[in-house]
Amino acid sequence: MKTTRYRSTRGRSPMVGIGAAIAAGLAPDGGLYVPERLPRLDVAVFDPNGTLTDTATTLLAPFFAGDPLADALPAICAEALTFDTPLRPLAGDPHGHVLELFHGPTAAFKDAGARFLAACLRRLPRSDARPLTILVATSGDTGAAVGAAFHGQPGVRVVILYPDGRVSPRQAHQLGCFGGNVRALRVSGRFDDCQRMVKAALNDVELQREVPLSSANSISLGRLLPQMSYYAHAALAWWRAQAVPLNFIVPTGNLGNALACLWVRETGLPVGEIRLACNANATLSDFFSGDDYRPRAAVATLANAMDVGAPSNFERLRWTFGDDISVRRTVRAECVDDAAIRATIRRHAHEHGEVLCPHTACAAHVLDGLRAEGDRAECAVVATAHPAKFEGVVEPLAGRPVAVPSALAVMLQRPSHAEPLAAEDAALKQWLRQHAHAGEAFVA
């Protein structure tokens, strides 16, 4: 197989292999790594009886071709994708389906990407003997997935920054429950503050000399590529059984999960229409209705993991389709406000017994709108988190308690601790310097 090389969306960085692209995260010119061209894949190369891991290994092989990491790809997929991503019928909609992505250890789809990234980084050579500190700013779910993926991994420490009081109580508990090589900092500010503080630390060359730093945000190819696997797996199974492509509606914030779905379709696999369901943050829906792309400050919503005003994968979306007109022709996006999220959770629970998390409810609302227009196409709503993570919102609307999945229950029983931190770049840098010489478990 020919070597696949990766270039920056901004075109001013040297091309690199997949291992180097994953190790770097962001390209040196500030752009995002994309493959020189997306590979073409044929339905026939996939094992019809294969597991999710088998599908992932076949799908991702051309992306890893020619790289030293390629030999380890089957093991990486087996280590990362240890949970099911079932496609099941949506109650009350004869042509509706739910792609459940929340059966991983932290009950959100981010587990797939975080675990794959961790499995890759474990295998990438490092010249520095000191532990690598991975910084992650989170609006709720990423931090837990990254913490869980790296917990106990030698040579790595994780520092999670989250906006104090702006994640659900169970999300907060999860973020602080790891201990050991994973630390949680609750920042007295917003998610944008956390993200800015992480960027400032990563860009500080002096600090990096004292504390080797890396990031695990959603622009990493190590998180994006594995997310293609569950779409390919569901789409292939559906295609084999029904001989029509399945449509998807993807709850969208930073555009990582939806882009993975789009890339699966671009490889030639049978995926139908793809719609993005956003919350009240209207950057994408305004763009898709014809406005210029205009990033802005995020507003807080019930679907907090999608509170993004400047979707970080937008550059990759543009690269994928070449220009704005083609992007708009290929994808659609819709905004769903909090009132609609509430009404959707309530209606699906009371009329059909379907209990949805606030993010999944955005996608279900888009589907309900299509049905009201008479659309009867086969369509899967992508369920990005388990409703039990947001019980404070969901239970009063659904009018019933939501059972907690066992992996989440285990985490909620552990003690949890987060240190307060001011929302200032200098505060994070000082914290990192103070802990620079502590061991992997952050103990001096």
Ligand X SMILES: *Cc1c(COP(=O)(O)O)cnc(C)c1O
Q: Strand, helix or coil at 18?
A: helix
183 binds ligand X (CB under 6 A): no
Question: Could you tell me the smallest distance in angstroms from the CB atom of residue 25 to ligand X?
Answer: 16
Contacts (CB under 6 A) with ligand X, residues 382-421: 384-385
Nearest to 96 by CA among 390, 348, 358, 384: 348
Question: Could you tell me the smallest distance in angstroms from the CB atom of residue 56 to ligand X?
Answer: 18
Among 56, 108, 271, 379, binds ligand X (CB under 6 A): 108
Integer CA distances (angstroms), 334 to 281, 289, 329, in order: 10, 9, 14
Q: Strand, helix or coil at 231?
A: helix
Q: Strand, helix or coil at 217?
A: coil
Q: Which one of 46-54, 158-166, 255-263, 436-444 is the stretch in contact with ligand X (CB under 6 A)? A: 255-263
Question: Could you tell me the smallest distance in angstroms from the CB atom of residue 120 to ligand X?
Answer: 18
253 binds ligand X (CB under 6 A): yes
Contacts (CB under 6 A) with ligand X, residues 209-238: 218
252 binds ligand X (CB under 6 A): yes
- Tokens 């709108």 -> residue: 369
Say what angle helices 169-176 and 406-413 make with each other, to 10 degrees.
70
Question: Could you tell me the smallest distance in angstroms from the CB atom of residue 381 to ligand X?
Answer: 12
Q: How far apart are the first and last CA of the chain?
A: 48
Pick 13 or 85: Cβ nearer ligand X: 85
Pinpoint the alpha helices (H) of 33-125: 52-64, 73-80, 110-123
Residues near 165 by Cβ (< 8 Å), separated by ≥ 6? none
Contacts (CB under 6 A) with ligand X, residues 289-328: 305-306
Residues near 62 by Cβ (< 8 Å), separated by ≥ 6? 1, 4, 39, 41
Among 359, 365, 387, 391, binds ligand X (CB under 6 A): 359
Pick 4 or 304: Cβ nearer ligand X: 304
Question: Could you tell me the smallest distance in angstroms from the CB atom of residue 257 to ligand X?
Answer: 4
Contacts (CB under 6 A) with ligand X, residues 109-168: 110, 141
277 binds ligand X (CB under 6 A): no
User: For residues 176 and 167, what is the distance between their CA atoms, to the nearest angstrom?
Assistant: 12
98 binds ligand X (CB under 6 A): no
257 binds ligand X (CB under 6 A): yes
Pick 110 or 166: Cβ nearer ligand X: 110
Nearest to 60 by CA among 227, 194, 207, 288: 227
Pick 198 or 207: Cβ nearer ligand X: 198
Q: Strand, helix or coil at 141?
A: helix
How many residues touch ligand X under the rule CB under 6 A: the total is 17
Nearest to 62 by CA among 220, 228, 223: 228
Pick 258 or 423: Cβ nearer ligand X: 258
Q: Please give the residue ranges that form the binding site for ligand X (CB under 6 A).
A: 108, 110, 141, 218, 251-258, 305-306, 359, 384-385
